[in-house]
Amino acid sequence: MAHDHPADPHPGEPRPGGGPHPAVSLIVGFGLIVIGATVVHVVFNVLV
């Protein structure tokens, strides 16, 4: 359940920190997870 806080910026407004779009952060995070899982998988197969 999302709570509306008056201090939070609206989705259409740029963020005060000037960071990337939230979707970009999600895509990058998901990509890092996939790359990490692939590396672990390859290393595990080499060792076993």
Confidence of residue 21 (pLDDT cuts 50, 70, 90): confident
Three-state DSSP at 17 gives coil
Domain layout of the chain by residue ranges: 21-48
Indicate the residue type of 12. G
Confidence of residue 26 (pLDDT cuts 50, 70, 90): very high
Confidence of residue 5 (pLDDT cuts 50, 70, 90): low
Is the pLDDT score of 46 beyond 70? yes
What pTM was estimated for this model as a whole? 0.54
Indicate the residue type of 15. R
The pLDDT assigned to 20 comes to: 78
